[in-house]
Every structure is written in structure tokens, then in C-alpha cells.
Structure 1
Amino acid sequence: MHMVNNLISPAVAGLMYSCSTAVAGYSIKKIKLENSPERTAMMGAAGAFVFAAQMVNFTIPGTGSSGHLCGGILLAALLGPYAAFLTMAGILLVQALLFADGGILALGCNIWNIAFYSCIVGGLFIWKPIMKGGVSKKRIIIASIIASIISLQLGAFSVALEALASGNSQLPFVDFISVIQPIHLAIGLVEGFITAGVLSFVYEARAELIWGGKREEEKKAKLSFNKLIAALSATAILTAGALSLAGSEYPDGLEWSISKITGSIEIESSSEFYKKLDSFQKAIAILPDYSLKNSDTAFGTSLSGIFGGAVVALSLIGGSSLINNSKKDSLIAG
């Protein structure tokens, strides 16, 4: 659901940048109230895992389309909604700058459509109420599926609204939602089961790490926190370096929806502004489209996954540490 620059007008882009920045600022304020070294490590490991998982597209049978894990509900269940939002925003920023995945102009839209709806709306208004009666494997499965479907439906609808507000006449609103909503319903269902599987593993390994409610029963931890972080990190490396090579070759849900209306997965623009912006983004990208420049080898894909995951992990750990240190400094100054 990563929107490209051509879909968005500068005015809509500016508005969505403002909205996403406001939520990011509020999220920083909220997590400053805590000082959790465990959360910092989990942000790095979970962020790298989600980055890697987003590289693996799965085919939606009978459609000619594919989807990939969004990861927002997974992050919210492990980190809480606010740290999850910042983690997802960091992932999307790295994808846009280093890999030209998602437009720079559309970054505010992508953060809103993907991170806000899944982490904040999905985490606070779906995940947390379901967990209120007690965290259990059954509730994890139910919450994962419901929250994934609803958050992706909201995100897909926002894509159509943003294109409409941008005056994109190539994507008539009614036609657009008639194709983008159903395909993301299917993607959301698959994401829900994947999310439930990962969180069920975490629940069995270390139940107290699941956010949002009390425990129905005391469960003895099967893995230490450090071993769980190592397991997530190793899975991220394996996913990014190897499983990413087996991803579906079909276009993702957004590209597929656009092709159903326009006949092409991309919307061409005659505007010099968009052409220059796209050229600039590709020029600064170290590994554009998750490959070596002027090469399409499997090594480039694996390298992109491992390198990107490492950048995401280090950036999130560094950012979380800065937030924690700024809180300590303010307490000392006070």
C-alpha cells in the first residue's frame, strides 16, 4: 500500500505530513513517560523483522495480485501503539530514502495509511479492548485477524480519498474503492493469520511481552528476553536474506487496483515536478527497488534485505535511546 509521488498533490501531501508529524510528536511524548530498555531492544528487533517481512509478497489466489505483511498490529501488540507507530514510521522512512519504495512526497500519506490505522487505531481501539478480559491465545488470534482486516480497509479507503482530494482523474473514486477494498480484505485476512502465528509464538515463549491486558493465567517463560530478541533477529535475517527471494512476482494490492482501472500498474505524469522528484529519489537511494543499481541479481535483493533490516534496527534503537536520554536530562534539569 506504499503510495508513489504521482498519486498525490503537494497540498494533500503537506496536509498528511502535518497529520503524521503530529501523531509522531504525541507518540514521542507518550513514550517519554516510560523508560524501558526492553522496549528499546524490542523496537530494533521487531522493526527489523517487519521490514524483512514486508519484502515477502504472498500471492492472493485467483486474482493476479499479491500482498505483504503490514506489521502494524504485530508491532502494537509487542510495543504498545505509540512506540509501534514510531517504529513503523521509521521503517517507511528507510524504505523511501534508501530503497525508493514509496514516494518521498507521499511519505506522510504512507505513514498515516499504514502506521496510524494499524498501530494507533488497531492497537488502541481493537487490540486493547479485546485483550481487556485477559491475554490468551484465543484472544490473540481473534484480535489479530479483526484488527488486521479493519486497519487495512481503513488504509485502502484513505488511499482512495487522498487520490480523490489530489484531483487524480485517472482513478475515479467509486471505481477505485470497488477494487482496492476487496483485494485488501483478502490481504488483511492473510495478514491476520500471520500476525496471530507470530504473536502466539511470543505468547508461548514469553507471555508478559504481549501488550494490552492482564494474563488469564501465569505462564512460565520458555525463553529469556535476550533469547527471544535473538530469535526475532535471526528470523529477520533469514526472511530478508533468503525468503525475500521467493516472494510473489504479481503486483501488490495497490498496483493491481490501479492496473484494473488504468491498464497499467503505474500512473504516468507529464509534470516536470514529479519527474524531477522521482529522479532525485532514485539518485539518493542506495539500493533502488531493493536491488543493486543497474543489476537485477538475487544477491542484490538479499543484500537489500539484510542491510535495510540492520539500518532499521540501529536507527530505532538509537532513536529510542535518545528519547530515553532526553527524559533523563529533563529530570536532572528539573
Structure 2
Amino acid sequence: MHVPDGFIDVPVSVATGVVAAGAVAVSLRGARRELDERTAPLAGLVAAFIFAVQMLNFPVAAGTSGHLLGGALAAILVGPYTGVLCIAVVLLMQGILFADGGLTALGVNITVMGVVTTVVSYLLFRGLVRILPRTRRSVTVSTFVAALVSVPAAAAAFTLIYAIGGTTDIPIGRVLTAMVGVHVLIGIGEAAITALTVGAVIAVRPDLVYGARGLSRPLKLRVGGELVDARPAVSAGPSGAPGTSGGRGAAGVSGSPAAPVAARSTRTIWATGLVTALVVAGFLSFYASASPDGLEKVAADQGIDEKAQPHHSADSPLADYAITEISDARISGGVAGVIGVGATVVVGSGVFYAVRRRRTSGGSGSAGSGSAGIAAAGRSV
């Protein structure tokens, strides 16, 4: 759903740019509260993973494809404020390096693909997990529904923006019907990818899923034939003071206590996620559907693209996710994808490191987030 230059007029593009800039500014402040010892190392990886999976277009109807938007995935894994920043980083990298999504339409894209999908999905997700039983399955089901709804919501948001500032005179009701209709189908693919990813992380490290914190029951131990709540193990905190830790119960596995949640390494899951992103972008993306995505298809069918403009980065050596000097399409696309993943994880990690550093230097860092982590440590989803 990357909106190109020329679909939206200049005044509305400027207005949405202001909205997007405001949303990013608010998210930078909000992300300071979300980025703790667990989410901070993974936020850049989440952005890189979304970049990679967005290269994997999947067919949804005759002559139409779709791809992950990623707002729901980012919001549930690392938090809604951080999620907006993740999508903003991805869109910035795509627009500048790969000529994907217009630069004058960057505000539109961040508003539609970043803000709308993140806000809608996370609000719906939180509402569902509050009323459903507090189990891993409920978290996964809530993730599926939230991701599914977020995609047609983004399509409706684009239609609203187009109704205000579209550059062609097209009946807006027809555009809304076409956009929402095809993006409901795309939303099913989005929901499946998001639920599978969140479910996989919950299965091994539920303490790393921001949206699942505080939703679980205490770990039970069998003592004298009866199940009793496990008492959290006492361990030294960062300053040497005693603190509580839930052990492996925090990861949903019963057994002997392990290290505190905040101290548990994220290296394994970080490495696994990075390798997965590189494989998707460097290899699997070659097999992506070549059909136009939902917005491209609707634009061509309804005449929205009559005044589309060439991308300002069309001459980029990585434009259209290919390297011009490499003639083999498979290798060219794969190398471009790997470069994109690398650039996104570096830029994203730098942004989130800076945000996290401002939090700790401001005096609200380790102590506050550590207490939240300790409170959740004795629980398992």
C-alpha cells in the first residue's frame, strides 16, 4: 500500500506530513517508556524483519497481490509507540534507497501504514485480551483479529485522505469499496503472518512480547500432591540489591528458577530473527508474486494513477529492489534485499539505542523498567 508521488495533492501531502511528524515525535517520547532491557535490543530487528517480509508479496485474487504492512506485528511485539517508529524507519529506507513509496507521500504512508495500523490493531488487541481467557492461545487469536482489521482500516484511511486531496476526480464510494474489499483479503495474509510470528516468539520467550505482559497466571508447582503458586527466586539486581525473578516460568516453562528476565540474553532470538529476515529478503523474495498489490490494482482499475509522478529516487542503484550492475535477477534482488535488511537493522537499532539512552540518562530507565520486568517475571503466559 505504498502511495507514490502524484496520488495526493501538495496541500494534503504537507498536512499529512505534519500529522506524521507529530506522530513520530509523540512516539519518540512514548517509546522511552516501552524500550527496556527486553524490547530495546529487538526493536531494530523487528523493523528489519518487517522490511524483509514486505518484499514477499502473496497472491490474494486474480491479478492482485498483497504484502505485510507490519503495524500490528510491531505494536504487539515491542509496543505501539515503538511500533510506529519501526514502520517509519522501514518506510524511510524503502523510499530513499529503493524508490518504493513516494517521498512527497512519505507523510501519507507513515500516517496510513504506520499510525493507523498500529493504533487500530493495538487498541483492538488490548480489548480482546482483556475479555478472553488469559492464555497463549487467546493472545494469538487476539493478534490474528487485530492484524486482520488493521489492513482494511488502513485502506479506509487512505480513501479518506484521497477524498480530501486526491488528484483525480473519481467517485469516492467506488474507491472505498474497491480498496476495502481487496484489503480485507490482504488482511487475512497479514493476520496469518503476524499471528504465526507472535505465536513463535511466545512459544520460546513470552517475556519478549510487549503485548503479552501481565496477562498470565503465576507458575504452579506441585508440593505434597497439591499445586501451589511458585515463590519467585531471590537474586541480585543490577546494583547488587536483592530482587525477584520468575525463572523459566517467565518463558512459560516450568522447572527450576533461572536468571532474572531483564538479565536473560536475547542473543539467540535476535540471531534467529536476523537470519530469518536475511533468508526472506535474500532468497524467498525472488518467489514473491509479481502481480500489482492492492493499491496498485485499485489505482489502475479506478484511474487513481492518472497523475502519478516518477519517483525522486528512481535512479537509485537499489531502485525497485534490484542492483542495476547485476544482470541475474535472482542474485540482483537477493543482494538488494540483504542490503535493505542490513541498512534497516543498523538505522533502526541506532534510533532505538538513542531513545533508550535518553530514557536511562533521564533517570527513568533501568529502575522503572526493571521493576516492571520483575513484576512480570514470576508469570507465564
TM-score normalised to the size of structure 2? 0.78
- Residues 132-177 of structure 1, C-alpha deviations (whole Å, 9 max, x = no match): 3565332233222221222111211122222221243253311111
Shift of 1:302: 0.6
* Alignment check: 8 A CA contact 1:118 1:147 kept: no
2:11 counterpart of 1:11 = yes
- Residues 295-334 of structure 1, C-alpha deviations (whole Å, 9 max, x = no match): 57221211111111111111111111112223344459xx
Supply the distance in 2 between the matched residues of 1:137 and 1:34 (Cα, whole angstroms): 21
Amino acid at match of 2:318: L
Supply the distance in 1 between the matched residues of 2:34 and 2:59 (Cα, whole angstroms): 40
- Residues 27-85 of structure 1, C-alpha deviations (whole Å, 9 max, x = no match): 11112245524322111211111100000000014x32100111111111110100111
Amino acid at match of 1:298: R
* Alignment check: 8 A CA contact 1:171 1:258 kept: no
1:231-250 correspondence to structure 2 within 5 Å: 231-250=272-291
1:1-334 correspondence to structure 2 within 5 Å: 1-33=1-33, 36-61=36-61, 63-123=62-122, 125-132=123-130, 135-212=134-211, 213-217=213-217, 218=219, 219=249, 221=251, 225-262=266-303, 267-269=305-307, 275=309, 278=310, 280-283=312-315, 285-293=316-324, 297-331=329-363
Supply the distance in 2 between the matched residues of 1:44 and 1:50 (Cα, whole angstroms): 10
CA RMSD of aligned residues (A): 2.2
* Alignment check: 8 A CA contact 2:103 2:312 kept: no
Amino acid at match of 2:10: P
Determine which structure has the larger helix proportion and give its number: 1
* Alignment check: 8 A CA contact 2:102 2:311 kept: no
Supply the distance in 1 between the matched residues of 2:91 and 2:128 (Cα, whole angstroms): 28
Supply the distance in 1 between the matched residues of 2:305 and 2:137 (Cα, whole angstroms): 43
Amino acid at match of 1:75: A
Select the structure of larger CA radius of gyration: 2
Supply the distance in 2 between the matched residues of 1:91 and 1:105 (Cα, whole angstroms): 16
**In the comparison of the two structures, how many residue pairs are matched?**
320
* Alignment check: 8 A CA contact 2:8 2:105 kept: yes
* Alignment check: 8 A CA contact 2:97 2:318 kept: yes
Supply the distance in 2 between the matched residues of 1:135 and 1:17 (Cα, whole angstroms): 39
* Alignment check: 8 A CA contact 1:245 1:301 kept: yes
Q: CA 1:204–1:286 in structure 2 vs 1: closer, same or farther (change >3 Å)?
A: same
Q: Matched residue of 1:66: which SS? A: strand
Unaligned 5+ segments in structure 1 are none
The range that moved more, 241-250 or 24-33, is 24-33
* Alignment check: 8 A CA contact 1:144 1:193 kept: no
Shift of 1:280: 3.1
Q: Matched residue of 1:282: which SS? A: coil
Supply the distance in 1 between the matched residues of 2:302 and 2:185 (Cα, whole angstroms): 19
Supply the distance in 2 between the matched residues of 1:84 and 1:210 (Cα, whole angstroms): 12
Supply the distance in 2 between the matched residues of 1:199 and 1:224 (Cα, whole angstroms): 19
Q: CA 1:138–1:38 in structure 2 vs 1: closer, same or farther (change >3 Å)?
A: closer
Q: Which residue of 1 aligns with 2:373?
A: none
Q: CA 1:83–1:135 in structure 2 vs 1: closer, same or farther (change >3 Å)?
A: farther
